[in-house]
Amino acid sequence: MSKPKFLFLCTGNSARSQMGEAFLRAFANDHFDVFSAGLEPKGEIHPVVRTVMNEIGLPMEEQHSKSVNEYLGKVTFAYTVTVCGAAEEKCPRVFLSMGKHMFWPFEDPAAVEGTPDEILAKVRAIRDQMAEKIQSWLSEQGLVPDTSGLSRQK
């Protein structure tokens, strides 16, 4: 039996959608095939995002920035979550109608400004908000989020 496919979608596929992909893959105990994509992919994962995810034991070495065009007309998603307003506005509606669509807006870690310490603190806060949202959603689905592989969050 195939697993439901789950897509995290944002504009650049360099931060929020990548974190969502890593969290759901870790928390859902292989209940879903998890993907992420962007409408205008940046081509890389933001280095601060990699840093804060590594801190909690979720390295994203297997993940890379990719376009939603890789999936349009090729993959049917049971769930699509847009994590930014720009993607929510621009995403092809036909694509979103293939399954359940949810809008979970989060601040963009790639746009955070300040000193290096301020940026790290803010991106950690966004990371933690995303983790909480995904754990909550899994609980609503009757699944117990598996956080055993996470290091203590900083």
What integer pLDDT is reported at residue 150 of this predicted model?
Answer: 87
Count of domains observed in the chain: 1
84 catalytically annotated:
yes
In the set 28, 49, 58, 91, the catalytic residue is 91
Whether residue 87 lies inside any domain: the answer is: yes
Whether residue 151 lies inside any domain: the answer is: no
Instruction: List the beta bridge partners of residue 5.
Output: 33
Backbone angles phi, psi at 55, to 5 degrees: -55, -30
Whether residue 145 lies inside any domain: the answer is: no
Whether residue 149 lies inside any domain: the answer is: no
Whether residue 24 lies inside any domain: the answer is: yes
Whether residue 124 lies inside any domain: the answer is: yes
What is the pTM for the complete model shown? 0.91
Confidence class for position 130, pLDDT limits 50, 70, 90? very high
Whether residue 148 lies inside any domain: the answer is: no
Whether residue 147 lies inside any domain: the answer is: no
- What CATH number has the domain bearing residue 68? 3.40.50.2300
Q: Put the strands of the sheet holding 79-82 in their side by side order.
A: 33-38, 5-10, 79-82, 100-103
Residues 27-58: tens digit of each pLDDT: 998 899 999 999 888 899 999 999 999 999 99
10 catalytically annotated:
yes
In the set 53, 84, 98, 110, the catalytic residue is 84
Residues 80-124: tens digit of each pLDDT: 999 976 656 665 554 554 689 899 999 999 899 999 999 999 999
Cα separation, 16 vs 104, in Å, equals 10
What integer pLDDT is reported at residue 94 of this predicted model?
Answer: 47
What integer pLDDT is reported at residue 152 of this predicted model?
Answer: 63
SS3 98: coil
Q: What does the angle CA 138 – CA 76 – CA 100 come to, to the nearest 5 degrees?
A: 45
In the set 10, 37, 68, 131, the catalytic residue is 10
Contact 95, 27 (CB under 8 A): no
Its domain, for residue 77, covers: 5-140
What integer pLDDT is reported at residue 101 of this predicted model?
Answer: 86
